[in-house]
Amino acid sequence: MKPTKTVLLSSLLLLSASNLKAQEGNNLTSGLELGVEVSGTVASGDYAPLWLSSNKYGLSSIENWSNYERVSLMRKSNNDSLRNWRRGYGADLAVAFNSARTFVVQQAFVEFGYKKANLIIGSQEHPILLRNQALTSGGLSLGINARPIPQIRVDIDYFTFPGTKGWWKWKMWASYGVLTDGKWQKNFADDIPNLVTRYTDNTMYHEKALYWKFGKEDCAFPLTFDIGLQMGTQFAGKTHNMYAQRGNDLQHPTGFSAYMDALLCSGSDVTDGPNPNTAGNHVGSYNMALTWHGDGWKVKGYFERLFEDQSMLTVQYGIQDHLVGVEAELPKNPVLTGIVVEHLSTYTQTGPVFHDESPQLSDKMNGRDDYYNHNMYSGWQFYGYGMGHPFLTSPIYNEGGEREKMGRLQFYNNRVKAWHFGFSGNPCDEVGYRILMSFTRNWGTHVYPFQDMMKQQYVLAETNYKPHWAKDWSGTLGLSYDHGDLLGNSFGGQLTIRKTFNLF
């Protein structure tokens, strides 16, 4: 379905839902909220500082000045939390200036729920599991850096496995969707006439996950352990300018078998020879968290391990690449309430050597994983923003010099080591703050390494104000500074003002 048809269908569904008020009392309108938001960013460098443009679900710009106006109409399904059946819907639209797109359909969805199960149709923002959303540096496989993808998603929230009395809980979801950035990719790839860049359109998307939780939060020994596996897949569609040859296009399978191959991680790509790969571009991660739940406080340690092929599915090649973190929520106080410390490494990627088995060389080497890049699809990105971690430099930054030569839609820097620190607090009921500090070292990729390692630092100091005297108004002011060789030096500020109207 084309994006315009998706938006039209969502709008009609929202209108129909509102008109049902006369038939069902205020069930479908209770809790309906209208939100209005205005945001502006200015910076001194070539780009806006990273923490003013990353991990914002793609509603941002890397340019050194930008702004947007946003309006949303939302009814969250948790308004029916006392009912077995739940319904929600929303439309979230923005007009952005000096950004990748001018008119943005950020969210447009309808949601139906029964007990623990939910069906979501459309594009909706989903958080990173097992993390402090405001303080984490991001997720490796399914992050919050890019815009939400339109999809049909079945989500089953944590439920107790029979016979375990709440000591073992399951959570799972699966979805199919479409990447709607084909036209944008073409324009971005053709921006330089003498540069031939591979891009894709009509690409389909599949996502799935399974999480287990062991232990209870409200018992004499409140220790819980979460472990999960989540995966995303780009499949079908058409690749243009294959092999860096303009007009050399490649059509991928689009039938029922293509959807099953994405679900079961099977099949093979149309270009595969005697050593077939799994069909499509697969990205996934293992996620774990061990949490102690105190009285008004908690401490959590978590771990995420990225994989893109079989070489990282096991520990055969070690666990050098990871995101490991510690998070603390402190008892209520006016100084400090949240702390996050994370270490990220994507440096090894199972080594720099890769070759398939052949009659001359029987040993297969599964190195050179090249995170987020793919030999046919335009990488793990959506509208130029990486769908994983923002420290692996998104293709939206690919302009000028060596970055363009590598392909405008490729991740030219995915070998990173970083330390990240986050702090938050609420000095009073009306005022809150957060501070992010990140220190990275960058080596490019195994295929195109940097001549010298590049250092880059990202710092953010942000405060939000929600005055009692101005009901449902709030404002956020962020000051951020980048320093280093990768993205250069930049100092900038971002001001966002919001107003929420409770319609019913």
Q: What is the mean pLDDT of each run of 10 residues along the chain (504 residues)?
A: 46 47 58 96 96 96 97 91 90 95 96 95 96 97 97 97 96 98 92 82 97 96 97 96 82 94 88 76 96 96 90 73 97 96 94 59 65 92 97 90 69 96 96 98 93 97 95 96 96 98 88
Strand partners, 225: 214, 290
Class of domain 3-502: mainly beta
* pLDDT at residue 319, rounded to an integer: 82
Q: Give the count of alpha carbons within 13 A of 461, CB side only.
A: 3
Length of the chain: 504
* Cβ contact 258:234 at 8 Å: no
Q: What is the pLDDT of residue 21?
A: 43
Residue 106, CA distances (Å) to 128, 202, 405 in order: 18, 19, 31
State how far the Cα of 153 lies from the Cα of 117, in Å rounded to an integer.
Answer: 11
Non-local CB neighbours of 275 within 8 Å, separated by 6+ positions:
356, 357, 364
28 burial via Cβ count (<10 Å: 0-12, 13-18, 19+): buried
- Strands 199-201 and 449-465 come out as unpaired
Instruction: Evaluate whether 65 touches 491 at the Cβ level (below 8 Å).
Output: no
Both tokens assigned to 428: 């009073």
Query: What pLDDT score does 156 carry?
Result: 97
What pLDDT does 309 receive? Answer: 72
In the three-class reduction of DSSP (H, G, I as helix; E, B as strand; rest coil), residue 319 is classed as coil
pLDDT for position 246:
75
DSSP string, 221-247: S-EEEEEEEEEEEEESSEEESGGG-TT
Instruction: Give residue-wise pLDDT tens across range 336-359.
Output: 999 999 999 999 998 776 545 556
pLDDT of residue 449: 92
Distance CA 52, CA 29 (A): 34
pLDDT of residue 105: 96
Q: With 0-12 CB in 10 A as exposed, 13-18 as middle and 19+ as buried, what is 263?
A: middle
pLDDT for 362: 56
Say which amino acid occupies 50. L
| pLDDT score recorded for residue 400 | 64
**Per-residue pLDDT, 438:** 98
Q: What is the DSSP letter of 77?
A: G
Q: What is the pTM of this model?
A: 0.90
Helix (H), strand (E) at residue 257: helix 256-264
Q: Which pLDDT score, from 0 to 100, does residue 278 have?
A: 85
